[in-house]
Structure 1
Amino acid sequence: MTPQDPQAFERLLANCADEPIRFPGAIQPHGLLVTLTEPGLQIQQVSANVLTLFGVSAESLLGLPLAALSGSEAANAVQQAAVYTTLADAPPLALNLLGREYEGLLHRDQGILVLELELKPDDSEIHSTMGKVRNLSRMLQRLQGAKTLTALYEICVREIQALTGYDRVLIYRFQDEGHGQVIAEASSPAMELFNGMFFPASDIPEQARELYRTHWLRIIPNADYQPVPLIPTLRPDTGEALDLSGAVLRSVSPIHCQYMKNMGVLSSMSISLMDGERLWGLISCGHRQTLHVPHELRMACQTIGQVLSLQISALQTLEISRQREAKMDALVRLNAAMVQSTAAVFEGLAQMPEALMDLTGASGVAILEDKVLHRYGQCPSPEDTRALYQWFKDSGQPVFSSHNLSTLHAPAAQYKDIASGLLAMTLPKPVDNAVLWFRREVKESIQWSGDPNKPLNLEAGSNGLRLSPRTSFEIWKVEMDGISSKWSHGDLFAANDLRRSALENDLSRQVLREQQAVRARDELVAVVSHDLRNPMTIISMLCGMMQKAFSSDGPHTSRRITSAIDTMQQASSRMNVLLDDLLDTSKIEAGRYTISPQPLEVSQIFEEALSLLAPLALDKAVELTFHAEPDLKISADPERLFQVLSNLIGNAIKFTPAQGKIGVAAMSNGDDIVFSVRDSGKGIAPEQLPHIFDRYWTAKEGNALGTGLGLYISQGIIKAHGGQLLAESTPGEGSEFRFTVPRMV
């Protein structure tokens, strides 16, 4: 087996990914860890360095109360702190053990109380620490006053470096592809600079990222430490390893310690940066010598990280709003072009190719409508464009985007110079249709800290080959191939919004065509009815006259003529009845929709609605929830009912501000099931509320692209089901739409 053996390397990589970093069975030596039962506080496990720190063996303490180690005063302090349900709310523990001052940290894990003890700094250090902590308010004000993300990052790294004294403080942001980039740095003159550098995803394995996501802070005062084992190794109560995810003293992977030393640092601290529940990045601190940051300073740094996370989310949300706002004028003009077009909706877009390309910053755009293909700017050949459309259509995504198309669609490598990026959308129609935006390849050189294709090394050990972290962090330039500039949130919003407008316009055209067809049919029926009634009336009158001229009591010939006249009279009457039925049928069928009811489960309908509409709500930071009584079953047309739900929830998302709430519910009421869609939006003005179901009604504010057909059509669908669609609204508080559907018998 050689270091070049790929199979050996892959096996070791898999072992590295499975390394039990949450269950190391050991701690770092700058403190003591004890696990305690509750409420008696008997010692279950204790770190082996209790012998060095307190002169008593770990084995002799097992099963004894905490007071046997700490004394009754300290044990009582722990007992009082343990009454807090959330231990983070408990006051800091200052414990005097054998004449030395310790800081006590508590957390719970799977039914066990974990106590960690760290020596308190001396008086001079405490005085310095408290002085720095008192300045925390000023630091937070500076963070909150930052107007741009760049300024925010720079303030953060400088303040944390001044607070802690680390040689290097940097902000590391995770990219969508998994790797990370240093986007801000504050370093002492002797430190190698990493600002702007990219680091491979394997530098921070997935399980380590999950720990960062669930815990704000990790500290390593000395990467040369020897792990201190827990006694006993496994929990006596469960027979399993103790989960040390929440422990400040948790021992870390030896591969990571070697990685630190390869980077030239001996101590480190990491603070997580979150965007909601997503790990956005890290504040990474490093020092060439050993450095133990006291608990109070760590908490101050954690607070800075939490404030920075909130600021990042807020500024990113503001930037997304700005991007969307910048697209609105172009979207209104393109929607007007679709409305004014006498042909298909996409034909209207084909009249404004420059505006269509400018909408997303594309270098080319293709518009496909059945057999007609329009191409503007730099586009693949017609054959390649149609093949690309078919591939993207088969994916089932109504809107698709990629800035590295050839990695997903191999044939795209042949035209990557003009179409490395693709943003596309299609409508649910029986004919081929799509708008495809293209972006040309961007030639750029990205600087990596070391070879990104060789993040780990193989080295010989006493037990054979083992993984070791890379030793080189020299600048490694990589030419990007087949990459375009990324599609922004604003670009994706524009594509989705244009698609929604196209759907509304296409539906409007369909409604108009059906209305014209109904009117033409009604006119034809009226004309035919009018023109046939007069001859039928004349025939009926003539039959009456002939009946008087021929007697049924006369000779055989007269009787035959009389019988024929009776048959004509009956046929004429039957014809008049058929004309009346034709007119009645015409009136009945003048309704826009016919429905095909079938048994449906409400829970399944809600699951489908959630999968389709949750991304739209998430994109706008709106909370969308569904609740239905158990086992609700209805009799309804699934497509038409889903159309109503989509329209009502879509309107709620459109008119509910960020951080708002939308609740969708279903409950039984006699023979009906009542559906409700309630939002926390701005509501509907009282003078507008009576007209919201009128044809072509639309909100005048915040709905520049609406056609006003959605609620009119939804009401028609519910009426066809035999139900009612009603609305209530309070301006400034929100709106609620309710409709009924028959319960399945």
Structure 2
Amino acid sequence: MTSPKDDLLPPSYLGGPQITGENCHREAIHIPGSIQPHGALLVVRAENEGPPHEVLQASENLGEFLEIGPAAALGQPLEALFGPQVSRGIVQALPLGTTDRLQYRTTLQTPTPLALTAHRVEERLVLEIEAIPAESSEDNNHLRNAVFALESAQTLAGLLETAAEAARNLSGFDRVMLYRFAEDNSGEVVAESCRTDLAPFLGHRFPESDIPAQARALYVRHALRLTADVGAAPSPLTPRLDPLTQAPTPLGGAVLRATSPMHLHYLRNMGVASSLSVSIVVDGRLWGLISCHHHTPRVTSPSVRAALEEVGRLLNLQIQLKEQADVAAFRQQLAAGHQQVLDTAARTLSPLQALSDPALGLSELLRAGGVALRLEGEWRTLGATPPAEGLEKLLAWLQAGEDEFLLVTDHLGSRLAEAGAWTDVASGLLAVSIGRGWQEAVLWFRGEQPQVALWGGATPDHAKTELGPRQSFATYIEDIRGHAEPWHTGEIAEAQALARGLSATLGERLSTLRKLNDDLTRSNEEWRKFAFVISHDLQEPVRLIGQFMDLFRLRQGDNLDEQTAQLTHYVNRETARIGSLTADLYTYTELLSYPELNLQAISLSDLLRQTLADLAPLAESKQLKFSGPTKDLILNVDGPKLQLALGHVIRNALTFGRVPVQLSVSAEAEAGQVTLKVQDNGHGVPKEYQERLFELFQRLGKAGTAEGNGVGLTLARKVAELHGGTLTMQSTLGQGTTLTFVLPSPPASTGSAT
């Protein structure tokens, strides 16, 4: 991940371009090469090599604060300027390795007392010198009162209002705002204290470009930024570059660091002559700012700045505590529903069905308009959700993303282009993965909620173009579409906790089920291969046995005695049965292994005609009397497979029918399906056996005496199921049997009769 400094432009004193509204996000604000003129600055060598602690750079205005000018100060040891006691204190307080966030402060006992603030930047010491203005006796009281008021605030909103008022009392600025950053880095004024004659900014939003990434990064590292006078000319460093490294000296931690020309322009347009900001950092993230504005130049003393920094640090802690308390209180309201969901998941054998029960209230738990659950490869939805194909796109997007467990947005359309079609039901999404990888998940949705935003002068789209830096800060009203009500921090925490609970409750079960399913799939595949090989390899020896017996009978002819003739007849009959069985098993395993259909338009009359031709010898022996459908139908089916199924059904009727066998086939096409009925006049099948006959190797009669091989009806039903249809049996003892195919594709009817 790149840092904000990776793509910064060189400053103008190094030949860089002029900073404008279009490139200010790349301005190197930490190396301005100059300081604000109300103080002076020295850069001192801190490493042991060379002259100890010599001055390498000095601001041009140094002579206004010390009895030595910048040219004379360069090359001088630190001790020569400030004496051994101050020099030793600085060096001991800021040893090698000290972060630039740590400061050392002392007072210089010059004719006019001066405040000295020092910090370390790698192998350099940066010293800032300022005049000490007369302090009010009320300053300490203001700080004590501010601390007490902040600690006493009951709510987050109350805390922010108190902080704004306290910071204004401490600083004396005309306006103090509490500014909070949103996820998109735009900001909103959430609390304000100002002079009564000033137009309020409370509730106004400001685009991300107002405080670009590199500025936000500095706010995280350094708590305070000050601009004392927007009209004052900066004082450059002498020399501009570090003489040993020939590189700009980083001044990010210096309070006197010169303010960006673009920010000065911004403040002038706002009517502000002086500003001070204190960062609010919560959990290492820039939460917001205490932003102070004054309409005349104002130098804020080091002691007041230190007090404001203390308010900022206390605010950091109190915001964290208040947010945690707010989340805890919010989640307490959801505790009963949360436990009910986990109890339901723990008790059920069908978690998807149980959790999608409307009575459980999973959608209402997080104030969602709809919820979608995905468990064990299936979806269930409640309320308003995207369509099925939309859910699949969402799932694929989640699985391809970097977020392994949680995704939260109140503007899904900005994250996923396809979501623009679902704004009415899915402008907001809170999704949690049950376990890693989004194989199982819960997705809560919220529909669009039109909003109005009050912008301080311009929307983000215009803030950097014709209005940047903005010429006016009058309220700009924007209608916002495609957004849902933002998810409460407590709802996000609740969803995460619920996901962890469901993962613990269902995770092991789902993992076990997936493993069992994988094992079953692998076992079925191995069985199919085994059956395929066995049935295929048996056909050749069975064929050879049949051929051998035929050859034996031809050669022996009339020489066979009666017993030998019976034995050879028995061998021929059983060989034929084995051949029929292996052929049917081969076909069955082929259907299981290669279930794809080759659909084509085919005439039902042609199918029946070919099927009866293949069964002609058996039909003749059974004295078949056949009647077909009165009208031909054109079916959209896999012809060879359906002919195979019809062949087994008709063979079954011929085999078990009473001679003479009467067989009729009727066909109807209606309501998006075709129904084929094959009816015989056989002995019938007892009701308790009717469904069992569709199972593999199930036959009527005792083993070894029943006709057929117990595969035909199983094959026929499998063909019907591959077409998305059914095959069922209706039978009455003594009156015959009817086998009914129902296929889902409607045929086109022709007018020809059979």
Task: Give TM-score scaled by structure 1 length.
Answer: 0.61
Which residue is equivalent to 1:414? Answer: 421
Q: 1:192 & 1:101 partners in 2: Cα distance?
A: 39
Task: Provide, for residues 484-528 of structure 1, a one-character-per-residue CA deviation record: whole Å limited to 9, x for no partner.
Answer: 1122333233333333343344356469989999xxxxxxxxxxx
Structure 2 gap ranges (5+): 1-16, 518-754
Q: 2:313 & 2:326 partners in 1: Cα distance?
A: 20
The answer to whether the Cα contact below 8 Å between 1:35 and 1:43 also exists between their aligned partners in 2 is yes
Once the two structures are superposed, the pairs formed by residues 490-509 of structure 1 within 5 Å of their partners are: 490-507=490-507, 509=509
Shift of 1:360: 1.1
- What is the identity, as a one-letter code, of the residue corresponding to 2:349? T
Which residue is equivalent to 1:63? Answer: 75
The answer to whether the Cα contact below 8 Å between 1:61 and 1:68 also exists between their aligned partners in 2 is no
Which residue is equivalent to 2:124? Answer: 112
Once the two structures are superposed, the pairs formed by residues 299-314 of structure 1 within 5 Å of their partners are: 299-314=306-321
Q: 1:175 & 1:516 partners in 2: Cα distance?
A: 46
Partner residue of 1:26 out of 21, 31, 34: 34
The answer to whether the Cα contact below 8 Å between 1:337 and 1:351 also exists between their aligned partners in 2 is no
Shift of 1:364: 1.3
The answer to whether the Cα contact below 8 Å between 1:133 and 1:297 also exists between their aligned partners in 2 is no
Q: Which moved more, 1:49-58 or 1:472-481?
A: 49-58
The answer to whether the Cα contact below 8 Å between 2:399 and 2:437 also exists between their aligned partners in 1 is no
Q: 1:429 & 1:143 partners in 2: Cα distance?
A: 42
| Residue 144 (structure 1) aligned with residue 156 (structure 2) | no
Which residue is equivalent to 1:95? Answer: 108
Partner residue of 2:381 out of 375, 393, 410: 375
Alignment length (residue pairs): 491
Which residue is equivalent to 1:293? Answer: 300
Shift of 1:403: 1.5
The answer to whether the Cα contact below 8 Å between 2:227 and 2:275 also exists between their aligned partners in 1 is yes
Which residue is equivalent to 1:79? Answer: 88
Q: 2:375 & 2:206 partners in 1: Cα distance?
A: 44
| Residue 323 (structure 1) aligned with residue 330 (structure 2) | yes
Shift of 1:359: 1.4
Greater Rg, structure 1 or structure 2? Answer: 2
- What is the identity, as a one-letter code, of the residue corresponding to 2:89? Q
Which residue is equivalent to 1:657? Answer: none
Once the two structures are superposed, the pairs formed by residues 595-610 of structure 1 within 5 Å of their partners are: none
Once the two structures are superposed, the pairs formed by residues 44-55 of structure 1 within 5 Å of their partners are: 44-53=56-65
Q: 1:163 & 1:169 partners in 2: Cα distance?
A: 11
| Residue 162 (structure 1) aligned with residue 169 (structure 2) | yes
Coordinate RMSD, CA, aligned: 3.1
Which residue is equivalent to 1:673? Answer: none
Shift of 1:24: 0.8
The answer to whether the Cα contact below 8 Å between 1:81 and 1:90 also exists between their aligned partners in 2 is no
The answer to whether the Cα contact below 8 Å between 2:223 and 2:278 also exists between their aligned partners in 1 is yes
Once the two structures are superposed, the pairs formed by residues 292-441 of structure 1 within 5 Å of their partners are: 292-343=299-350, 345-352=351-358, 355-369=361-375, 373-395=379-401, 397-427=404-434, 434-441=441-448
Shift of 1:376: 2.4
Once the two structures are superposed, the pairs formed by residues 263-282 of structure 1 within 5 Å of their partners are: 263-282=270-289
Per the alignment, in what secondary structure is the counterpart of residue 198 of structure 2?
coil
Q: 2:464 & 2:494 partners in 1: Cα distance?
A: 42
Task: Provide, for residues 79-133 of structure 1, a one-character-per-residue CA deviation record: whole Å limited to 9, x for no partner.
Answer: 3343224799887422243x32211111122222222111121xxx32x1x4312
Q: 2:436 & 2:314 partners in 1: Cα distance?
A: 48
Structure 1 gap ranges (5+): 1-8, 459-466, 518-745
Q: 2:151 & 2:412 partners in 1: Cα distance?
A: 39
Partner residue of 1:284 out of 288, 291, 305: 291
- What is the identity, as a one-letter code, of the residue corresponding to 1:312? I
Task: Give TM-score scaled by structure 2 length.
Answer: 0.60
Once the two structures are superposed, the pairs formed by residues 706-745 of structure 1 within 5 Å of their partners are: none
The answer to whether the Cα contact below 8 Å between 2:346 and 2:505 also exists between their aligned partners in 1 is yes
The answer to whether the Cα contact below 8 Å between 1:367 and 1:434 also exists between their aligned partners in 2 is yes
Q: 2:437 & 2:167 partners in 1: Cα distance?
A: 59
Once the two structures are superposed, the pairs formed by residues 589-600 of structure 1 within 5 Å of their partners are: none
Shift of 1:57: 4.1
Q: Which moved more, 1:131-140 or 1:162-171?
A: 131-140
Q: 1:37 & 1:432 partners in 2: Cα distance?
A: 58
The answer to whether the Cα contact below 8 Å between 2:103 and 2:119 also exists between their aligned partners in 1 is no
Shift of 1:12: 5.4
Which residue is equivalent to 2:642? Answer: none
Q: 1:175 & 1:161 partners in 2: Cα distance?
A: 24
Q: 1:430 & 1:370 partners in 2: Cα distance?
A: 13
Shift of 1:315: 1.3
| Percent of residue pairs bearing the same amino acid type | 31
Shift of 1:478: 1.3
Q: 1:361 & 1:508 partners in 2: Cα distance?
A: 29
Q: 1:307 & 1:370 partners in 2: Cα distance?
A: 49
Which residue is equivalent to 1:693? Answer: none
Which residue is equivalent to 2:203? Answer: 196
Q: 2:313 & 2:485 partners in 1: Cα distance?
A: 31
Shift of 1:14: 6.5
Q: 2:156 & 2:146 partners in 1: Cα distance?
A: 16
